[in-house]
Chain A
Amino acid sequence: MASNIRPIIFLKTAATKPTQEQLVFLITAIFLMFFAIFLDGFATIDNFITLARNISVLGILGVGMAIVVIARGLDLSQVSVMAVSTAWALTHMNDGVSLGLAIALGLGMALVVGLMNGFLIAFLEMPALFATLASGIFVFGVVRTWLLGGDLIFHVPKDAEEFLFLGQGTLGGIPIPILVFALVALLSHLFLSRTSYGRFIYAHGDNAEAASLTGIAVRPLTILEYTLCAFIGYLAGLVMVASVANVDTRIINSTLIFDTILVVVLGGVSLIGGRGSILSVIAGTALIGTLLNGMTLMDFTNEVQNIIKGLVLLCAILIDNRLHPRDEETAQQGDL
């Protein structure tokens, strides 16, 4: 009995306990070394830029998701909102509306859905998992049927070439998507760690009731979290659309939303809430990006890639459980 408990006590009391993101960075470094030795063309600056470029959309989505997960929530509608709001912006571009107005209209739609999610969760007290699962399906259905004329694929019109700069341009040799990711990550990091609202989000995730008792307006705060998540998701959508000059709204059927949760949880933003940071998202995204890049270069089939991705997620949850064991506090709040 005692021998079973000892490792946990060790983990809890050790002064040198590594954080999950440090562990993930370490694993990433091991993979990087492994690929650099065994893979031709991996250890080049160009390839690292491509690697970062390929994961920037996932990373941006991850930053948005991290904000709600830190607050002990979850937004399963993020990809759906991203798809329909960018598609709506594109339909306006195709109808001859000016670029700025079209982008603003798409943004408006994303913000409305974010507000709605926050309202459902904060005021109607629906569980985040179900509220956002349902709202994602609902919004996609409504927008597709009534606003997008039933179509699924939307193209950037020929006369909006300058919009493609957001996805295909470079600044000082660095692709714009990486810069957008860096900027979003930096601003979100500053918001979460340096502003009182950011700290409130941690307090909300750690213990919503305690946060409420200390005078934090938890309900409006929840709305802010989901609106921010939708806003950042929309930015990711713009970068994604500008990269390939179209949006295929069937992306909501893909595993993108789970990949997003994967990079967030993997890096150490615990689903228990109140833990982790934007650095965790960067760690998780870096590991997944390295894996994807390496596996693409090794020409693995999708099936094998999925097996490896699934294994990595299982390992992450295992580590999460070891580092943040279920205790009285989480037992009271219930699991997500």
Chain B
Amino acid sequence: MITRCYNQFIGRCIVIVGVLGILLVGTNTLLAGDSVSRPKVSAELYNHFDKNLRGKTVAFVPVLMGIPLTEAWAKVIKTQCDTLGMKFVLRDPHADPGAATQAISSLIIEKPDVIVVQNDNMQLLAKLIKKAEKAGIYVIQINLGSRYTSSAYVGVDWYNLGQMMAEDICKTSGTGSGKSGKVAIVQGMTTSSANIEQLQGALSVFQKHPEIKIVSNQAANWDPNKARDITATVLKQHPDLSAIYSFWGIMALGSGHAVKEAGLQDKVLVYASGGGSQTICENIETGIINRYWNYNAPLQGHDVMTAVKVVLQSGLKPGQLKITLYSPLELIIKENADNACWKLPAK
């Protein structure tokens, strides 16, 4: 009896040791051997991703480099392209419309897989973008769109931004605020989509608020000096101005300094929007700009790459898909300006 039990015990021990041994050897092989590969599902995903992206070329045509917005986009897009084994090409037209058309025309011949383009105005590149898509190149338009809707648009919903800012102005300067309700609008370039849609969005709100009076509505062509001159003149005629609605943060610095020079800081609110670079936050802290809608340029660059990944993996031809990735908007005021902005590392 005892012997049987003993034999059984020994038998079980041998089985357990055997199983453990097999497991151990197996695990070892699993850990060290070459034959181990990605689990099937993961491999399927990865192969699809890698096959569609690796070696592909992304060409970026901004309006011009050298401003925080385009520098941030280019940096993010390039970094991600490098990581994914994609080629990044930059063509800087230096704000020259002729150079921009040439850049797109020559890209149509060079055939990159994706063109990311920022339109200086709505008409200039519309036909060329259509031509590029017909030639089989996906076109992603960033922030400043054209009359042609291509495979993807990444950027601000300008009409909505105009409405948001106008509604805020109605709150701070309208009925019950104790202010005059006089508003000066300083537009950028009247032909750009950011300008046209934003103005329409803002006016759609102001129309419903008769207490808001637009006493000046002029374009400063994105130039802070021109914005300064216009604002200084308007402030002399309307020292009781409630708010200045500027279409771009850097241009708003001109208006802000005119307000400061007139000694009207905190009485006249300066509104603006932009990509949220560090200098802007410093100016919000010093009260040059009071209320700023940030569309976060590095995140927009990230969104561009999301759109690139989507269109390249979609299996659809350019023109067959329309993706819109609107940028989230964040309001920056003095109280949260401390950490809300970004700074590119020095070159």
A residues within 8 Å of B by Cβ?
A: 40-42, 44, 46-47, 50-51, 53-54, 57, 144, 149-153, 155, 158, 167-168, 175, 240, 243-246, 248-251, 253-254, 292-293, 296-297, 299-303
Residues on B with C-beta less than 8 A from A240 are 225
Given contacts A248-B250, A302-B221, contact A153 B67 (CB under 8 A): yes
Question: Are A297 and B237 closer than 8 Å at their CB atoms?
Answer: yes
* B233:A54 contact, CB within 8 angstroms: yes
Roughly how many angstroms separate A243 CA and B225 CA in the complex, as a whole number? Answer: 8
Is B236 an interface position by the 8 A CB rule? yes
Chain B interface residues toward A at CB < 8 A: 64-68, 71, 95, 190, 215-219, 221-226, 228-230, 232-238, 250, 253-254, 257, 260-261, 279, 282, 286, 288, 347
Which residues from A are CB-within-8-Å of B190? Answer: 301-303
Contact A244 B253 (CB under 8 A): yes
Residue B229 contacts which of A41, A54, A249, A250 (CB distance < 8 angstroms)?
A54
Question: Are B64 and A250 neighbours in the complex by a CB distance under 8 Å?
Answer: yes
Report the minimal beta-carbon distance from B4 to chain A, rounded to whole angstroms.
88
CB nearest to B229 among chain A residues: A54
Distance of A327 Cα from B229 Cα, bound (Å): 42
* A-B contacts, 22 listed (Cβ < 8 Å): A47-B236, A54-B229, A144-B66, A152-B64, A152-B65, A153-B66, A168-B257, A244-B224, A244-B253, A244-B257, A245-B257, A246-B250, A248-B223, A250-B222, A250-B223, A253-B95, A292-B229, A296-B234, A299-B217, A300-B218, A302-B190, A302-B219
| Other-chain residue from B68, B218, B226 in contact with A301 (beta carbon distance below 8 A) | B218
A246 touches B224 (CB 8 A): yes
The A-B contact count (CB < 8 A) is 102
B218 touches A299 (CB 8 A): yes
Is there an interface contact between B221 and A251, defined as CB atoms closer than 8 Å? no
Whole-angstrom CA separation of A113 from B21 in the bound complex: 83
Nearest 6 pairs between A and B by C-beta?
A152-B66, A41-B237, A54-B229, A296-B233, A244-B254, A244-B224
* CB closest chain-B residue, reference A289: B229
Contact of B216 (CB < 8 Å), options: A47, A53, A244, A299? A299
Q: How far is the CB of A66 from chain B (nearest CB, A)?
A: 21
B288: chain A residues at CB < 8 Å are 245
What is the distance, in angstroms, from B264's C-beta to the closest C-beta of chain A?
13
Cβ contact within 8 Å between B250 and A301 = no
Which A residues are in CB contact (< 8 Å) with B65? 150, 152
Bound-state CA distance A301–B219 (Å) is 7
- CA–CA, A259 to B67, complex, Å? 25
- Also in contact, A153 and B232, with CB within 8 A (given A168-B257, A254-B223, A302-B219): no
In Å, the complex CA distance between A149 and B344 comes to 13
Complexed CA–CA distance, A151 and B70 (Å):
11
What are the residues of chain A within 8 A of B254 when measuring CB–CB?
A: 243-244
Known: A44-B236, A299-B215. 11 other contacts (CB 8 A): A41-B236, A41-B238, A50-B236, A54-B232, A151-B71, A152-B64, A152-B65, A246-B224, A250-B223, A296-B218, A301-B190
A292 to B217, CA, bound (A): 15
Specify which of A41, A150, A245, A251 is in contact with B66 (CB 8 Å cutoff): A150
